[in-house]
Each structure stands twice: as structure tokens, then as C-alpha cells.
A and B are shown apart, each in its own frame.
Chain A
């Protein structure tokens, strides 16, 4: 089992998300996260799907996605140089002396405070999957009230690295 990041270009038409989601549910494939938004080209949407599976299942997922008539292109970013980011809002308990400690933690991770009240702060964090997980685990001790996370978005790097 391995985490795979798939970049999928689809025709931006009604029902396309249902076709992709239905493929995963109907065949019992795992979706860890799914992000979809318009791509550069008019009429095309870009999906980034992360999934946990072995290599045989990954092969089936790629082929089955490609078989959908609305899917234009499928790329697996797992073994090619690519950048991947997730974003998260996390609302944290912040009272008294803990407020300063929380702000210092935010600084280390280059997070932003986007909302504040007398006893809570909402923090915006961006980073790869590991960084988001690390922030979350560090924030545990302050008392997490609420989380809103995106799935990953990913892009292939321009320069090939040796």
C-alpha cells in the first residue's frame, strides 16, 4: 500500500465528478482526497486525487479513469518530480499564556492567523501532507475545536532533477 497522487484532466461538464466518484465507489477503490477546479484551458477541469493502494490496483484505477469518456488525461505523480500542497483551517483554543505559545508555533510553520476571538484563533496552514499532519499534531495540546482541510493539489516540476 502506498499513497499515490493522480492528476486527472476531465471535460468540465455536468456529471463528470459523479462519473469519477462512481468509478471509485463502484469498484471499491479508495479515495483519500479529491480536489477539483477549472484548469487553464476553457472547458477543462483539473482533478487531483490521492489514493492508498498497491501497484496492481493503481494500474486498474489509471486504466479505468482513462476509459471514462469524459477523462482527457491521467498522470500518476508518485514517481515523477512534482510539488503537492494541501491547505487547512484549524480553530484552536487560545487563552492566556497559551496565545503567545500558539503564535510562535504558527510562525515556525509559516501559518497565518485569519480569525481571532477572546478565547480562540483560526489558523491557515499550507504545506505538503506531512507538514499539515505535523502542524495538527503540534496543535493538539492547545485544544483543537474544528478543522477544514482541502485535498492535495499537485503539479509536475518544470526542471528534471538528477
Chain B
């Protein structure tokens, strides 16, 4: 039995690598999907899927940081698919710097995209879910917001913030049968797709996180600990899509305000 049969989903940041792989799973599970992203070029990643399912996948260019554009995106989803059951928020921004070096512009963008954008998207979709007294909302967070992973302060702060925001929104919308959860994966294998730099990002001079045991800010061991799964130092995107399907299906009907950790066991280490 398909887990998302006849469900309609809106993917904000729908052109990301994760969203593209999740889209394949949503097609297999029977959903319709509107992909929303800031540039058309992001949708090139899902060209094969869009050609295979032209009636079940639509696209729209809109920004998560502009409330009016989120409202337009939800209205369009309702117009073409008749309802909205699921919102998946994939938009993200890393930024750069630490407590002493962070540029104000990067700090502001990270908070705008990772927190305010999610808030905008939920506010925009809420009337449609309230109407049906049903909704599933997934917010894509990160282990960077759960534990010290040596990531940029922009990322650590905004991802921790968006997990808190998820809980607050879950509390507020539970009365309308809407569940909201976040997920916090560790590093992902996106090598299937050509990298597209995040809008307004500044190229980094060094990787945000040194390899385990390599030292770095905080001294050796500050970022120790890798995956316990031998062939999986980083996640296969199909594993991430599996989590998203669970969070967006009726299988998770009693789950809200939670943050699911997918990290090969890294989070349980000191």
C-alpha cells in the first residue's frame, strides 16, 4: 500500500538534492508535489521525474523569505492539486564564521532562510491545512543544530533555532490536526548532483568541519566521532527520503514537535 496516496505536498527548497531524491520516493508513494525554489536552475535536477510525471509534479519560482511569495505558492498548489496535505521545508543556508569572525550579512541571511523562511511557509500553508483539519509538516534541520559539530556559528545557531521554532509551531497547530516535526541529519552524500552555490553565500576558505580526530577549533577531539555504520560515513539520500516519507505519512500520526536524528550514531557520542 502506498503511504502517500492522493496526498499533495509542497516542497520549499524543492530544487535541493535532498528534495529531488525525496521527490522520487513521493512519486513512488503516490503523492502530487509542487516544487518551489528561488531559481529555475534548481529544478533541472528533477527533470527526469518531471518528464515521467508531468501531471503530478509542478514547479514555481518563489522565495521563502518573502511572505507574499509563499502565499502565492500555496495558492498555486491548491489551484492545481485541489488541496495541500504536506509541507516539506528544505531551504537552508550555511553562512560562515565563528563568534569573532561572523559577518553580519551572513548571520542575517542564515536566520532569514533557516528560521523566518520556515515560519513564512508554515503561516502560508496553515489556512489550507486548517480547512481540512489535517497536515504534516517536515522541517529539514541538521545535527549542526543539535550538537557541537564545529560548523559555522550561522548554521549552528539558525538550525538550533529552527528546531525550537518547529516545537513552538507544533504546539500551536496541534489543535487543527497538524503535526510538525524536524529532522537532523549529519553529512549527506549529494555527489549525484552538481553543486549549486547557495544564493548570497560566500565561498569558504576551509571546510566547516575538520575530519574526526584532526583537531581544529577547540583542540583535538572537539569534533571526534563518526558514523558507526562501516560503509556509510555520510548518508545516502534515499535514507533521508525514507525518514521524510515517514514524517509526512499517516504512519507518524502520533508524532509532533519532535526532531528525528539521522547520523549513523554520531549524536550519541560525546
Is chain B a partner of chain A in the same complex?
no
Name B's A-contacting residues (CB within 8 A).
Answer: none
